[in-house]
A and B are shown apart, each in its own frame.
Chain A
Amino acid sequence: MPCVGDWLNSPLSIVQGIFAQNVPNSDWEKKVTEYFKEKLKENNATNWVPSLNDVPVHYLKPNSLVKFRCMVQDMFDPEFYMGVYETVDPNTNARVLHFGKYRDVAECGPQQEIDLNSSQTVTSERQTFYCVPVPGESAWVKEISFLTEPVQARVSPSTSYTPSRHKRSYEEDEDMDLHPSKQKEQHTGKSCCSGGDIHGCVEPKRLETEASAGHHVISPNCSPPLDLNFPLPGEKGPACLVKVYESWETFKVNDVLEVFGVLSVDPVLSIVNSEERDSSSLDPMECMDTAEEQRVHSPPASLVPRIHVILAQKLQHINPLLPACLNEEESKTCKFVSNFMSELSPVRAELLGFLTHALLGDSLAAEYLILHLISTVYARRDVLPLGKFTVNLSGCPRSSAFTEHLYRLIQQLVPASYHLRMSIESMNHSRFIPRKDYTANRLVSGLLQLASNTSLVIDETQLEQGQLDTAGVHNVTALGNLITWQKVDYDFNYHRMEFPCNINVLITSEGRSLLPSDCQVHLQPQIIPPNMEEYMSSLLTAVLPSVLNKFRIYLSLLRLLDYSISEEVTKAVEEDFVEMRKNNPESVTADDLHKMLLVARFLSLSVGQTTLSRERWLRAKQLEALRKARLQQQQCVNGNEL
């Protein structure tokens, strides 16, 4: 029986073992996945696996088991590879069978040759996904997910770190000059853990290499730095080519996955690669792909490592404070949920208080902000997305960087977010819609390629008058479509393709936003702090980390709850609606009913109720009435001013 270290450090040898035992029949593949599934089920075993999100690639041992939390950014074409192949020793004519699964390179001994015409060869198919870390992932998610791996510290130095040093020296000696990406890798490596200072011990070493890399002028055969294709500008972290071996049809673009697999950073990959590039002009077979495509589809392994997936699962959420899978009937998760639900109301009250302060004392706006933060598209009725709740927070003070600080607070609460500062400049010049680049044959990412439940905070207060050009108009239209239909039309040059999404959009503006929204809340600040920055940061420091964590759990958990409306309440709502229409048919339309039902839904959920009660319905109506009254009042004020 192999011990822990084995399946972690050299999973391929385990696979080899299983393969050798079962070789004549093809169910060895099933046995492999079963073996690893069992292993990972053991107590906290998943935490033992080093994560690419936290540990820089060059500290990980090649061909060891790693995990990676990522979003599928693009899907490449399926690959045919040698599933099983045979090697021959020309001297002794001895034949050995090997497996090609979980490998990039078909290995054979120095004295052996691969027999490509062997009858034993099995050609199989696998799919490659280009994955990036979840865009806009908050710093706290990275920190906590690293901290929840207590064994990491013990395991890492002995296993993954030391051998990788060895590998580094090999690379440094051999092909430091050949590796233009080296420099880049350092950057990537550093940024990986910018979230926390956990890597204090290794920091000096890295600084040192970076310093030397600083005057590392572009080497002769250096190509322009590879665009790693992150959706958001300024994103960092390892991009990865994830090779999936089974049921790849179930994954979609923009899905968030957690994969466990064999890390492959074999320098041979890069060599093979560069060889190909050299010879591409010579060999007609190789010029099938353009150089650009080559670069994108097989980037240097040190920059974009490969993971050969043994197990992959879609994540419902990326909040590390919650158990990864909630719908499982496990006693542990049930207990966790019920525990939390029991203390829900104090948490809600505290959160409301916190947000009220953040919104300068406006409790109504805080109430709506909570509803917004737990909203999620739970179904689509033909084209209509249900459950989206875009809030337009109008009346934001323009001068005092209020929106900036508000975003920082939200960032502390949600697992993934992005702050989009609207300006003529940014509208005209940034790329919102992902676009297919046919020369490189890849999907060039855009701002709006975001994972589900990402908070997109759009700041309209900085927008000045000016001329939008074509790109700008397209971008604004795309934002509008995103808000109304929760879909983004990706640009495939010859046609457009619709990708449904589920993004929470919060718009902060002075007046009514130019973008559509489900509900406009006019902010009525009670206090204007003289120093906004001080005020906001004091707010954040005043909250205990444990409380902050509770807020985070609260917001992520409530999103995942089910909801229903009883027959009785349906009747009551009906009555109510008819009544309202009777009095004043102009004031209440079907749209308003939609809104009220939405508010009622999230209001019920926000206090942990999964069915609508009469009181909640009344409260929802009351909230809506308050909000409307405020808007009317605002309109009057504006009217007077004119």
Chain B
Amino acid sequence: MSSPASTPSRRRGKRGRGSNPPTPQDARSPPSQKRRTDDSTSTGDLQPMPTSPPADVQSPGAADALFSSPPQFRHSAIPLDFDISSPLTYGTPSSRVEGTPRSGVRGTPVRQRPDLGSVRKARQVDLHSDGLAEDIVATEQSLGQKLVIWGTDVNVASCKEKFQRFLQRFIDPLDKEDEDIGLDLNEPRYMQRLQEINVVGEPFLNVNCDHLRSFDENLYRQLICYPQEVIPTFDMAANEIFFDRYPDSILEHQIQVRPYNALKTRNMRNLNPEDIDQLITISGMVIRSSQLIPEMQEAFFRCQVCAFTTRVEIDRGRIAEPSVCKNCNTTHSMALIHNRSMFSDKQMIKLQESPEDMPAGQTPHTVALFAHNDLVDKVQPGDRINVTGIYRAVPIRVNPRVSSVKSVYKTHIDVIHYRKTDSKRLHGVDEETEQKRFTEERVEMLKELSKKADIYERLALALAPSIYEHEDIKKGILLQLFGGSRKDFTHTGRGNFRAEINILLCGDPGTSKSQLLQYVYNLVPRGQYTSGKGSSAVGLTAYVMKDPETRQLVLQTGALVLSDNGICCIDEFDKMNESTRSVLHEVMEQQTLSIAKAGIICQLNARTSILAAANPIESQWNPKKTTIENIQLPHTLLSRFDLIFLMLDPRDEAYDRRLARHLVSLYYQSEEQMEEEYMDMAVLRDYIAYARSYVNPRLGEEAGQALIEAYVDMRKIGSGRGMVSAYPRQLESLIRLAEAHAKVRFSEKVETIDVEEAKRLHREALKQSATDPKTGIVDISILTTGMSATARKRKEELAQALRKLIQSKGKAPSLKYQQLLDDLRAQSDTAVTKEMFEEALRALADEDFLTVTGKTVRLL
């Protein structure tokens, strides 16, 4: 099995193997009143032990000694004298006799499941009123199908049968999961899983409750409500099928069924007393995990006098030490023998609710988890996980000296199944399983919204409503939020195509660039906000750290990796130092980050969109200069931005008027009024999330044509003047933008209108950022080569003029620098600066026409 949670560890597997008490699994009475009403046989959990006082006093002492010596125990993992041919856990002695012998089952030891009932009562056999699952198994033949497990409506036989049918028949060809590699979707899924168990030898069967629900609603309900009773039945069913099919298979222990993905409670905050003893699935983040705790399952006592041995099982968390030896009747002669007692592993884990689930302004809730056996040490602090388990509430122990009791319960979850949710971030399958769940109404509403003709404008308007105008910029950012479709060209050697759109905002200080960035950062779930001034290459990428406790090397991820599948907002982009910026080259095109540090060499995914803001060098934007000159960023980096916008302070009366009105309204409108006017941030967020995960537009035929035309047109503009105005990179940008626009419409196909808008936006951005200030012509080469084509042409012309000038001077071997400059100035009709002159000289020197030494120019 490929689920990380189900990989058993050898070491623990051996140790846990010994415990197979042939006692029934029993349901502990829940603290809530809702089921299993009392009868006289069950005493309160909290009451002092029914055993005699000495035992009560001594047993904690014994346990104490036990816990002080776990290392000794660990090494002495002696295989105990357990009965190889022991029956099912669930079989009582009576069922062992009557039950049909199953050859395969015999050879495989049973492992107890502490996750289902860590505290078990002494067996109370009362077939008619206090029946246990096993007893019913034993007697069902005689009593027919009417018996149910006490306190529930579960009939073991029918439950088992139903589950077997489920295993044998469940097919869902449409369902896809990341675990399903190598599964034939048209065959019964769980039979293939069992086959896998046979091959791999990991005796855990993970069952998706969703499948169960679609197969048999009632069985699902029973599983959710009475997991403690139903899961053992499932185990039984699975084992029967397995050993029928693979009678020779040798497993470490019998198969355990692990249901996951129960729909009962998803959010930690919604847990309430109703959920006690039910199967729940909640998500959260591990914040702390305890040391391994060996929990005694069965104590082994030996009489000091006559060496008579006896075993005592754990009962409600305590071992009742026998006070009298049954053999020789000596009192207080029984001593605990540690290394013949049986233990199981246990770990306490604190889970904190994930930040997304938390209402604003409150602190996160936590819940304790108990992991048993194989699940111990499966998660580390910091992991995001989905946990399926049984929610428990245990009364706080009574104090024998005080008659009053603390009226509070302690709650925890006995873990049955873990599922890490963020493991994909480093391994990069796709984010399918991480999809946010939307209610049907919500989806309906979003779809309704998407049908509106002006949805694009509407969404753009809803984006950062407090920032005035800059509509095209908002539209650009909107498209960035949606992103293009991810394409995989690995088989043709081109690798992944970038789907993310990168945007650079430059402009005057105080034009609310930072505010836009802040807004975007707050809007997207995986947003990161850094300032170029404060971040180093290490902070952006990842670094290797030595954990002070374990001395283990740990890879700590930085902002870029953390915003994988999100947006990384970088403020003060221009203030970033050279080495930091160079990291971005790889991220912005290849969408990966390579790290080679302290012996760790890896490539991390950083499929992040970058939204950067830069201020001009001279603090105020100089309209006489090109973008490159204004922000002094290398053109190699600039060409990786799909859209570069200028945010300038427009000098326009009408604009001023609208701006003033907008600002004034900010200062007296109440919050409700504002919300009426614009779309809610939550709706916007859901809309984007939905589109990102469910809509994957492909290029249509027409759109393809339109794109080709657009690209050819762009190339044409320049070719008339002998310059290139578009490169393949621009075409890719256009495709991405068109796809994003199609996503906004929830359309699976990119159409001409998408291309039109992409073209318009791209042109708009170009107009702002790639206009040659000297000629007023849009020139892409400003961004791609850092210099406009006309500027290059002018340089060329000047060099030619200089060459002519020198040639006209005749055969003089050397010329004075200053003199030459003056002559050139006199001859030229445009102003020639010293820099231009030097550049021309350099150009001629490159042609081996002359050399410059100091203040003299020599001809060659």
Contact = CB atoms under 8 A, between A and B. Distances in A.
Interface of A: 74-75, 77-82, 85, 100, 103-110, 112-125, 249, 252-255, 268-269, 271-272, 275-276, 279, 281-289, 379-384, 386, 436, 438-439, 441, 443, 473, 477, 485, 492-495, 497-500, 563-565, 570, 573-574, 576-578, 581-582, 585, 589-591, 593-594, 597-598, 601, 612
A117 B38 contact: yes
Contacts of B123: none
13 contacts: A80-B411, A106-B407, A116-B29, A120-B33, A121-B33, A125-B273, A249-B362, A284-B293, A285-B119, A379-B669, A379-B671, A564-B668, A597-B664
Contacts of B355: 492, 495, 497
Interface in B743-777: none
Contact of B406 (A106, A282, A593): A106
Given A80-B273, A121-B31, A272-B406, A383 B657 contact: no
B32 A121 contact: yes
Nearest to A484: B514
Contacts of A495: 285, 355
A438 B667 contact: no
B94 interface: no
B406 A497 contact: no
Contacts of B45: 116-117
Interface residues of B, number: 94
A115 B44 contact: yes
A574 B406 contact: no
B382 interface: yes
Given A117-B44, A272-B399, A282 B64 contact: yes
Nearest to A289: B368
Contacts of A268: 402, 404
Interface centre among B287, B381, B393, B656 (most CB of A within 10 A): B656
Given A75-B363, A382-B464, A104 B659 contact: no
Contacts of A255: 361
Contact of B348 (A288, A477, A589): A288
A104 B409 CA distance: 11
A275 B398 CA distance: 10
A443 B364 CA distance: 10
Contacts, number: 244
A598 B407 CA distance: 53
Q: Which of A286, A581, A612 has the most CB of B within 10 A?
A: A581
Contact of A78 (B290, B295, B365, B659): B365
B630 to A, nearest CB: 18
Which of B362, B518, B666 gathers the greatest number of chain A CB atoms within 10 Å? B362
Given A123-B32, A123-B273, A105 B44 contact: no
B60 A282 contact: yes
B410 A285 contact: yes
B397 interface: yes
Nearest to A569: B664
B19 to A, nearest CB: 15
Given A77-B367, A80-B273, A443-B363, A578 B405 contact: no
Given A253-B363, A492-B355, A590-B659, A597 B46 contact: no
A74 B363 contact: yes
Contacts of B397: 276, 279, 283, 285-286
A113 B671 contact: no
B358 interface: yes
Nearest to B39: A117
B37 interface: yes
A395 B344 CA distance: 71
Interface in B404-450: 404-412
A382 B463 CA distance: 9
Contacts of A282: 60, 63-64, 67
A614 B229 CA distance: 77
Given A253-B362, A283-B397, 20 more contacts: A80-B393, A105-B405, A116-B44, A117-B29, A121-B33, A123-B31, A253-B363, A254-B361, A269-B406, A272-B402, A275-B399, A276-B396, A282-B63, A379-B669, A581-B653, A585-B649, A590-B468, A590-B512, A590-B663, A593-B663
Residue from B272, B355, B366, B663 whose CB has the most chain A CB atoms within 10 Å = B663
A477 B534 contact: yes
A576 to B, nearest CB: 8
B361 A253 contact: yes
A110 B409 CA distance: 22
Contact of A565 (B363, B653, B664, B670): B664
The 8 closest A-B pairs by CB, nearest first: A252-B361, A381-B466, A106-B407, A116-B44, A577-B660, A123-B273, A117-B38, A100-B407
A245 to B, nearest CB: 13
Given A272-B402, A601-B667, A82 B660 contact: no
B359 interface: yes
A120 to B, nearest CB: 7
A80 B408 contact: yes
B6 to A, nearest CB: 25
A105 B406 CA distance: 4
Contacts of B511: 590
A574 B361 contact: no
A288 B351 CA distance: 12
Contacts of A497: 355, 358, 364
A117 B519 contact: no
Given A495-B355, A590-B510, A103 B667 contact: no
A112 B287 CA distance: 42
B651 A118 contact: no
Contacts of B358: 497
A132 B31 CA distance: 33
Nearest to A443: B363
A82 B404 CA distance: 13
Interface in B223-277: 271-273, 276
A439 B656 CA distance: 55
Interface centre among B31, B37, B355, B667 (most CB of A within 10 A): B667
A441 B366 contact: yes
Given A114-B46, A497-B358, A570 B287 contact: no
Nearest to B364: A492
Contacts of A113: 44, 47
A80 B32 CA distance: 10
B363 to A, nearest CB: 5
Nearest to A593: B663
Interface in B357-380: 358-368
Interface in B310-333: 317
Contacts of A594: 663
B403 A108 contact: yes
A229 B346 CA distance: 33
A229 to B, nearest CB: 13
Contact of A288 (B47, B368, B468, B512): B368
Given A110-B403, A285-B397, A500 B361 contact: yes
A428 to B, nearest CB: 17
Nearest to B291: A287
Contact of B522 (A118, A121, A383, A597): A383
Given A105-B407, A108-B404, A565 B667 contact: yes
Given A85-B407, A106-B405, A574 B664 contact: yes
Interface in B183-240: none
A516 B549 CA distance: 40
A597 B511 CA distance: 18
Contacts of B359: 249
A413 B468 CA distance: 38
A497 B522 CA distance: 11
A100 B362 CA distance: 27
Contacts of A80: 31, 273, 276, 393, 408-409, 411
B93 interface: no
A106 B64 CA distance: 29
B804 interface: no
B268 to A, nearest CB: 9
Contacts of A85: 407
